[in-house]
Amino acid sequence: MASSSKIAFPSVVLALRLLVLAVLAGSIVLIVTKKVNVTFPSGDTFSFSFEDVYSYKYLLGIAVVGCAYTLLQIPLAGVTIAKRSKVIGGTTNVALFLICADVVFVLAFATAAGAGFGLSYDVKRSMDEDYNGLNARDRAENSEYHSKMDSFLVRGYAAAALVIVAAKSVAAVVLISVYALVK
């Protein structure tokens, strides 16, 4: 019983790290693959992608750095399980450093998700107000643009939501690590 309780905390941390990696990878895919191409009846074309918006670039950058950080953390949790140690990192000083790094990443994930949510909400609200103010003919001409931009922004919401899941998971890792350290 003692040995299984020793690996319980690191096992949960490993599972949470794998979840973080999966949701950050999903967020990266959602951000990178979204692009809008619309041709208006007048012949004008409109192209828009994540590269045109700083908030989405920030969200992407934090997700990529978060994936790299998580890939570095997964082996530490695995080694801790293999050694049947209670504290990830082996020593108290290393564990404290890892906890501080995790706190920094929770904050970075939260700010990136906030930027993604904020931009998506503001642009969608403004776009819907403009679209609803159009007359029927202009509305028909802009319906393709509106539906494609709406889809683009929904993917922005989804990417930000996945980063929020990552932030909550890393916050749980911090709590578990602190509890394991003081126990």
CA distances from 147 to 53, 117, 169 (A): 19, 19, 33
Whose tokens are 């159009």? That residue is 134
Evaluate if residue 11 carries a pLDDT over 90. no
Spans of all domains in the chain? 2-34+49-182
Has residue 113 got a pLDDT over 90? Answer: yes
The H or E element that residue 9 is part of is: helix 2-32
More confident residue, 140 or 57: 57
Higher pLDDT, 130 or 28: 28
pLDDT for 1: 42
Question: Quick check: pTM over 0.85?
Answer: yes
Cβ count near 17 (within 10 Å) = 24
> Cβ(7)–Cβ(81) under 8 Å?
yes
How do residues 43-74 score in pLDDT, each as one tens digit?
Answer: 778 788 888 889 999 999 999 999 999 999 99
Amino acid (1-letter code) at residue 156: G
What is the rounded average pLDDT for all residues in the chain?
A: 87
What's the one-letter identity of residue 178?
Answer: V
Q: Which string of DSSP letters, residue by residue, matches 94-105?
A: HHHHHHHHHHHH
As a whole number, mean pLDDT of residues 115-130 equals 89
Q: Nearest 5°: CA angle at 69, between 175 and 112?
A: 80
Q: Which residue, 27, 95, 98, is CA-closest to 67?
A: 27
